[in-house]
Structure 1
Amino acid sequence: MASFPAIISVDDHTVEPSDVWRNRLPSKFRDVGPRIVRAPVKEMTFTGGRFATVMGAPGDEGPVADWWVYEDLFRPLTRLDTAVGYSRDEIRLEGITYERMRPGSYSVPERLADMDLNHVQSALCFPTFPRFCGQTFTEAADRELALLCVRAYNDWMVEEWCGPAAGGRLIPLAIVPLWDARLAAEEVRRNAARGVRAVCFSEIPPRLGLPSVHSDGWDPFLRACAETGTVVAMHIGSSSRMPSTSEDAPPAVSSALTFANCCFSLADWLMSGTFDRFPGLRIMYAEGQIGWIPYILERADVVWEENRGWGGIGDKVLRPPSEAFAEHVYGCFFDDAFGLRNLDAIGAGNVLYETDYPHSDSTWPRSRQVAEEQMAHLSPEVTERVVRGNAIELLGLTPEGLWVGG
């Protein structure tokens, strides 16, 4: 295409600078809040859909990494956190330091420069250390400190990462204290008052020991999202486990099945009656791809039509699930030619584009080329909608695709 629309990516990632919490927590918590320690990596594995590490003692032999330390959690920065700029064969499961990552991972000016290289105008960024929906703080023992950490992260996200230096090109994405739906609702409203229109959530909350979307346990949170126009953003892996088949399955199995948790999650939401109770609610699946969506919608409609009498949904799912999907759900993709060939079965208004910078799956710096190749059969109007128009509408951006705080 001679002129391709500037991309709005709804799934990129920020690697938090080392001083995020030290700079924002009250003084009595700065030495016990999240902090960086440099130490060797004694062990690192990713099998059966689970990531596990062991930190060595200072002075031990072995490759050195920067580790986030918080309560009894020791989490190293890894090459998978920030893989752009390396060839595919150079990307290994290994610990790294800040000096060994691309600066655009954590620095606003360098991020904007890398966005320019990739034809990206604006980007919504998920967390790294808090994990994809803030599980790190949900699992913490000290709830007072955890709540302060959640708020500190959101303040940093709004005031620094998406602050004036970003020129409206970085779009804020908040986390919430998932352990308390009322506190979560308060945090949604606090951030919505300053223009935040997206919040992280878990694709399958019971895997985190939290209520399912079939209960009313999330009602305060969901009501706050619906009333403020805050989209519920669920990233693959936000249930703290990637799909796998066995405890010894290699990471490639999980990588091939990344969409599976989204598929399970969508069935949950469509059969929960939530969208009928909260008609203003919108949800999105980051990095879930879209090719699987037509069949799950077809199957869900068949189940609703034929099995709702005994299926436990007859009194709460009031219309075909595909109709609810069209009004409430967005699929996100970075590389899905099959899904784009079947876009009519999904809905051009229900699809968002992403680049996944700086992760190993990222199409950076070729996101424009990938999109041009896979969208060549679409009209310019539909391409514009997928690449940026839907994101502008969903995230409350300016017509130019920029974020303006409240």
Structure 2
Amino acid sequence: METTETGNTRHAPESVDFPRIISVDDHTVEPPTVWSDRLPKKYLDSGPRIVRAPLKEMSFLGGKFAPVMGAPGDDGPIGDWWIYEDLHRPLTRLDTAVGYDRDEIKLEVITYEQMRKGSYDVPSRLADMDVNHVQSALCFPTFPRFCGQTFTEAPDRELGLLSVRAYNDWMVDEWCGPEAHGRLIPLTLVPLWDAELAAAEVRRNAARGVRAVAFSEIPPHLGLPSIHGDDWDPFLAACAETGTVIAMHIGSSSKMPSTSADAPPAVGSTITFANCCFSMVDWLMSGKFERFPGLKIMYAEGQIGWIPYILERADVVWEENRGWGGVADKVRKPPSEYFAEHVFGCFFDDAFGLKNLDSIGLANVLYETDYPHSDSTWPKSREVGEAQMGHLDARTVERIVRGNAIELLGLTEAGLWRPA
């Protein structure tokens, strides 16, 4: 299978054994007019919009991304920047790296013309999915960040709420609209600053057939309440009642794990699963799965190899220390049992996790391709999956690659999304 620089594809023969993939973690780079087409006119000068400008400086150390936009006429590489109130956020090669050699991928600003068209264009995305043996895909946002932190951090709440709703309308009606033929699965945002508004947005989108909502892995890192109190209960109730899965992507707490302020990005990239690990323990010890039996959560791009030990340790702590550990009255059974009923881990390259599948649970594992990020296995996700799952029987592979996603996300038997 080969891909030309213009995006045209030459297909390799498809495997008759490996199932068509349903990826539960891909990404969309929002087209420039998502918000300008949908916000009231009075917000067009303050809402999200694209400008082309030079880069003055940019760093990514200690898990912190710090770009500085230059003025017109300044020297520096030219890129497309999202402007939103006082925020200046450039598009970078890390937003969309597929099609480039790994050693050529650097932290640099880019324009839409310099990215693969499948990053933001539906027909081109479907073509790239075909190349990669992918049938359907759930996509996280880029400019809003992985759970809408961009809108949560902005001071104008009215504009923030309108921007969240505009994104969701674009996601449902356009990105996952008729042109996608059911192959793109909607993932929506909520106004994280107000749990009642968040619940209303969950229900608004659930009425349209949406069954997944983005959320922060560790809300306190965003200045928001933890899940241990009652603050989030209206939102959690709405998710449980509508069958809406809470999807948490690495980085959705705006604080990537690192070890020091001067640690290179490779350090954080190696331990990206850490926030998922902390988050999962939070949920298992929160008592929320007792209060909301229909609740389901999933961890995107967190991988799965770390899960067995954490479950073992959580069970030991619950068994031996729950009396003084503050969970005896709300966590009524071993945490591993809640995991089996409520939690899903997602991976794209985790041979160790697959070798320990019995300790995780076949029903709790989902596959992803991470298109178009630098970690993506595109265009060889099938080959990667075949290599890592070669020791598993066909039924097990089918469950991991598509069956579990169909059940969790309420897709058709054919693996497609259909609006309500």
TM-score bracket, shorter-length normalisation: over 0.9
In the TM superposition, residue 32 of structure 1 has moved relative to its aligned partner by: 1.3
Q: Give 3-state SS (helix, strand or coil) of 2:54's partner.
A: strand
1:26-59 per-position Cα deviation (integer Å, ceiling 9, x unaligned): 1111121000011111111110011111000011
Separation of aligned partners in 2, 1:238 and 1:3: 35
Residues 270-289 of structure 1: pairs in structure 2 closer than 5 A: 270-289=284-303
| Residue 9 (structure 1) aligns with | 23
1:240-261 per-position Cα deviation (integer Å, ceiling 9, x unaligned): 0110000000000000001000
Question: Is residue 221 from structure 1 mapped to residue 235 from structure 2 by the alignment?
Answer: yes
Question: Is residue 245 from structure 1 mapped to residue 263 from structure 2 by the alignment?
Answer: no
Separation of aligned partners in 1, 2:72 and 2:325: 57
| Residue 4 (structure 2) aligns with | none
Q: Give 3-state SS (helix, strand or coil) of 2:135's partner.
A: strand
The code of the aligned residue for 1:108 comes to: V
| Residue 38 (structure 1) aligns with | 52
Question: Is residue 211 from structure 1 mapped to residue 225 from structure 2 by the alignment?
Answer: yes
Separation of aligned partners in 1, 2:238 and 2:202: 6
Q: Give 3-state SS (helix, strand or coil) of 2:51's partner.
A: strand
The code of the aligned residue for 1:54 comes to: V
Separation of aligned partners in 1, 2:255 and 2:50: 24
| Residue 191 (structure 1) aligns with | 205
Cα RMSD (Å): 0.5
Separation of aligned partners in 2, 1:275 and 1:379: 32
Q: Give 3-state SS (helix, strand or coil) of 1:330's partner.
A: strand
| Residue 295 (structure 1) aligns with | 309
Separation of aligned partners in 2, 1:273 and 1:120: 37
Runs of 4+ aligned residues of structure 1 deviating over 3 Å after TM superposition are: none
In the TM superposition, residue 132 of structure 1 has moved relative to its aligned partner by: 0.1
Question: Is residue 161 from structure 1 mapped to residue 164 from structure 2 by the alignment?
Answer: no
Question: Is residue 389 from structure 1 mapped to residue 403 from structure 2 by the alignment?
Answer: yes
| Residue 116 (structure 1) aligns with | 130
The code of the aligned residue for 2:348 comes to: F
Separation of aligned partners in 2, 1:26 and 1:279: 40
| Residue 8 (structure 2) aligns with | none
The code of the aligned residue for 1:119 comes to: H
Separation of aligned partners in 2, 1:232 and 1:376: 31
The code of the aligned residue for 1:356 comes to: D
| Residue 146 (structure 1) aligns with | 160
Residues 75-114 of structure 1: pairs in structure 2 closer than 5 A: 75-114=89-128
Separation of aligned partners in 1, 2:114 and 2:151: 27
Separation of aligned partners in 2, 1:160 and 1:41: 31
Q: Give 3-state SS (helix, strand or coil) of 2:345's partner.
A: strand
Q: Which residue of 52, 61, 64 maps to 1:47?
A: 61
Q: Give the structure-1-normalised TM-score.
A: 1.00
The code of the aligned residue for 1:344 comes to: D
Separation of aligned partners in 2, 1:24 and 1:60: 32
The code of the aligned residue for 1:332 comes to: C
Q: Which residue of 27, 37, 58 maps to 2:72?
A: 58
Q: Give the structure-2-normalised TM-score.
A: 0.96
In the TM superposition, residue 327 of structure 1 has moved relative to its aligned partner by: 0.1
Question: Is residue 132 from structure 1 mapped to residue 132 from structure 2 by the alignment?
Answer: no
Q: Which residue of 327, 335, 354 maps to 2:368?
A: 354
| Residue 21 (structure 1) aligns with | 35
State the identity as a percent. 80
| Residue 319 (structure 1) aligns with | 333
Separation of aligned partners in 2, 1:182 and 1:253: 38
Q: Give 3-state SS (helix, strand or coil) of 2:73's partner.
A: coil
Q: Which residue of 320, 323, 330 maps to 1:306?
A: 320
Question: Is residue 236 from structure 1 mapped to residue 250 from structure 2 by the alignment?
Answer: yes
Separation of aligned partners in 1, 2:16 and 2:267: 38
Q: Give 3-state SS (helix, strand or coil) of 1:381's partner.
A: helix
| Residue 266 (structure 1) aligns with | 280
Separation of aligned partners in 1, 2:201 and 2:256: 27
In the TM superposition, residue 167 of structure 1 has moved relative to its aligned partner by: 0.1
| Residue 379 (structure 1) aligns with | 393
Q: Give 3-state SS (helix, strand or coil) of 1:80's partner.
A: coil
Which runs of no fewer than 5 residues in structure 1 stay unpaired?
Answer: none
In the TM superposition, residue 359 of structure 1 has moved relative to its aligned partner by: 0.2
1:271-330 per-position Cα deviation (integer Å, ceiling 9, x unaligned): 100100000000000000000000000000000000000101111111000000000000
In the TM superposition, residue 2 of structure 1 has moved relative to its aligned partner by: 4.0
Separation of aligned partners in 1, 2:72 and 2:308: 52
| Residue 413 (structure 2) aligns with | 399
Q: Which residue of 335, 339, 349 maps to 2:349?
A: 335
Separation of aligned partners in 1, 2:111 and 2:78: 7
| Residue 186 (structure 2) aligns with | 172
In the TM superposition, residue 3 of structure 1 has moved relative to its aligned partner by: 1.8
The code of the aligned residue for 1:228 comes to: T
Separation of aligned partners in 1, 2:255 and 2:57: 19
